Amino acid sequence: MIGPQFDEGVFRHRLPIQIRFIDVDRFGHVNNNYYFAYYDLGKQEYLKEVLHEDMMGGDLVPVVVHIDADFFVPVYYGDNIVIETRISHIGEKSFVLQQRAVNAQSETTVCQCTTIMVCYDLKQNCSVEMPKDYRTKIENYENANLSK
Amino acid sequence: MIGPQFDEGVFRHRLPIQIRFIDVDRFGHVNNNYYFAYYDLGKQEYLKEVLHEDMMGGDLVPVVVHIDADFFVPVYYGDNIVIETRISHIGEKSFVLQQRAVNAQSETTVCQCTTIMVCYDLKQNCSVEMPKDYRTKIENYENANLSK
Amino acid sequence: MIGPQFDEGVFRHRLPIQIRFIDVDRFGHVNNNYYFAYYDLGKQEYLKEVLHEDMMGGDLVPVVVHIDADFFVPVYYGDNIVIETRISHIGEKSFVLQQRAVNAQSETTVCQCTTIMVCYDLKQNCSVEMPKDYRTKIENYENANLSK
Amino acid sequence: MIGPQFDEGVFRHRLPIQIRFIDVDRFGHVNNNYYFAYYDLGKQEYLKEVLHEDMMGGDLVPVVVHIDADFFVPVYYGDNIVIETRISHIGEKSFVLQQRAVNAQSETTVCQCTTIMVCYDLKQNCSVEMPKDYRTKIENYENANLSK
């Protein structure tokens, strides 16, 4: 069933989302599908801000292998939605992102998502170790030891 | 980490997907986000076929409350992808969908998704019991007791 | 061939667009298709701001009957794009929107679009006259006689 | 205003479209924006079939510079829509596509679109002449002299 909401604690990275009319379905709700486009955007901006480079530009790219998402309340066109993103764990070749969408007016969490990503080398065509400086930059940003 | 693939067994409902050029991202892959649009389509068609009515048309609608998805291999523009859908469990007010995308040439499962949906009454604005005839129609279609 | 750019002159309504990673195609460009979602958003916000009501909420809705679009230069993920919108003409039952996407850094017009919309009554199921107060509000906003 | 429908005459290339639930807006209509994704798909399949190669794969790509679209009647989820595509003119560096969406049940044209595309060389970063064999293949397919 619906999981419990994420542990409170800090989400340093917050990205306000511009909801598009095209995101809205027959019921006036934002279609669930678009939440993943919002999470994606939060993810890109997080990685760009924290790693100070376009992780999407080189041979090493983060690849989504697992998504786990809970939907608590509907979102409507006109709502002010903020995507909050943090990395909660770093493994050898993978890392775990926690994200949630918060209604900026009501401060309600409308949905949340856990994503497991693997560092993938497009040239070698296989998963590779997380670069050490990425690990450092992320732990500094999150102010936490994420490797345990 | 990535879950094990679904138990083998029957998926009676199979829907070939028309991949659009717009679904493809910077890496030539179908963007993960679109998989959920494919699953959605499989879900709609399943419910239309099995329940013999447009579950989307009345006051009772199925609402997604949880999604759990694994991504095994990338999909490319030009791939022949089939979405397979089955209902694996029916609760009092909710039911569980298992879906997977299969490459029709290689017969590989490229990704899979478990979705929990709740029967929601738009007029009363609350979740309601799964109608008995829906339960019967689904169990007949799946040829299984899904309520245990 | 490509039309000349719109007459200079005022575009009072300017909406910065949040480009999504999902908007980007295989060539790293924003897919042309998404420009229309940006124009749509500019259109909705214009009508909401100028008419002080949700033109989408009642029985009277503006329906697109014609689009004419020129694409001058590609847009990339990370570009700062602003959609500028103005109404350039009001007919009996229809009106003409001019919109352009401007790169906020280079101040280049990257694409432009002319849209003809008709006032449509969803209940009567036919096109209807533009309400007088809509006409007044728009002409006041644009500071021009648009009915000639 | 709305242009007249295209001259009758042959459209050899016909592509049935799989409408997605996500394409449908608040009014139950397919959002105009998605028509362009349908046209895009028709375009890709036409070029792949007629030129016998993936025009998208090499350095030479067709780039959209102009779109002119008319919307005649709305499309609903469940409608059987076919995109018809033909090339109506070939210039030195550009060509003109005519496309229309036809409801396969009622045989009504629901919308139509004229697109001007330019042959673009991604390496040289400029427009280039239409390759002679492309011209021949297209004229053979359309069974017409398109260069006049």
The domains located in chain B, with CATH, are 13-142 (3.10.129.10)
Q: Choose the weakest-confidence range: A3-7, C38-42, D32-36.
A: A3-7
Q: Give the pLDDT score at A54.
A: 61
Three-class SS state of D145: coil
Residue D47: which residues within 8 A CB-CB, separation 6 or more? Answer: D55, D56, D62
Angle at B60 (CA atoms; ends B69, B90), nearest 5 degrees: 50
- Which residue in the set B17, B22, B41 is minimally distant from D21, CB to CB? B41
Contact A37 C44 (CB under 8 A): no
Alpha helix positions (H), chain C: 32-51, 132-142
Contact status of C24 with chain B (Cβ, < 8 Å): yes
Q: Give the pLDDT score at C119.
A: 93
DSSP string, C42-79: HHHHHHHHHHSS-TTTSSEEEEEEEEEEEE-S--BTT-
Answer yes or no: are the C-beta atoms of C54 and C134 closer than 8 Å.
no
D97 confidence band (pLDDT: 50, 70, 90): very high
Most C CBs within 10 Å, among A18, A23, A26, A81, to test the C interface? A18
> Which residues of chain B are within 8 Å of residue C23 when distances are taken between CB atoms?
none
Neighbours of C92 (CB within 10 A): 11
Q: Which amino acid is at A12?
A: R
pLDDT above 70 covers a percentage of chain B that reads 95
Nearest C-alpha in A relative to B38: A33
Q: Give the pLDDT score at B1.
A: 42
Contact status of B73 with chain A (Cβ, < 8 Å): no
What is the rounded (10 degree) CA torsion for C47, C48, C52, C55? 70
Q: Give the pLDDT score at D52.
A: 79
D3 confidence band (pLDDT: 50, 70, 90): low
Q: Is the pLDDT confidence value at A2 over 60?
A: no
Q: Is the pLDDT confidence value at D1 over 50?
A: no
D61 confidence band (pLDDT: 50, 70, 90): confident
Find the mean pLDDT for residues C51-74. Answer: 84
Angle subtended by helix axes A132-142 and A32-51, to nearest 10: 100
Find the mean pLDDT for residues B34-41. Answer: 95
B101 confidence band (pLDDT: 50, 70, 90): very high
Find the mean pLDDT for residues B27-50. Answer: 92
Length of chain B: 148
Average pLDDT of chain D to the nearest whole number = 90
Query: What digits encode the pLDDT tens for the residues A103-143?
Result: 999 999 999 999 999 999 888 889 999 999 999 999 999 99
Find the mean pLDDT for residues B111-138. Answer: 93
Contact A26 D26 (CB under 8 A): yes
Find the mean pLDDT for residues B45-71. Answer: 85
Residue B136: which residues within 8 A CB-CB, separation 6 or more? Answer: none
Q: Which two tokens stand for residue A69?
A: 């998402």
Query: For residues A30 and A125, what is the distance between their CA atoms, to the nearest angstrom?
Result: 36
More confident residue, B6 or A27: B6
Q: Is the pLDDT confidence value at A148 over 90?
A: no
Provide ipTM, 2 decimals.
0.90
Buried b (16+ CB within 10 A) or exposed e, D91-120: eeebbbbbbbbbbeeeeebbbbbbbbbbbb
Find the mean pLDDT for residues A89-102. Answer: 96
Length of chain D: 148
| DSSP at B42 | H
What is the rounded (10 degree) CA torsion for B3, B9, B13, B15? 50
Q: Which chains are adjacent to chain A, needing at least 3 Cβ pairs under 8 Å? A: B, C, D
Q: Is the pLDDT confidence value at C56 over 60?
A: no
Query: What digits encode the pLDDT tens for the residues C101-138?
Result: 999 999 999 999 999 999 998 888 899 999 999 999 99
Contact status of A33 with chain C (Cβ, < 8 Å): no
Q: Give the pLDDT score at D8.
A: 72
Contact status of B49 with chain D (Cβ, < 8 Å): no
| Burial category of A47 from C-beta neighbours within 10 Å (exposed 0-12, middle 13-18, buried 19 and up) | buried
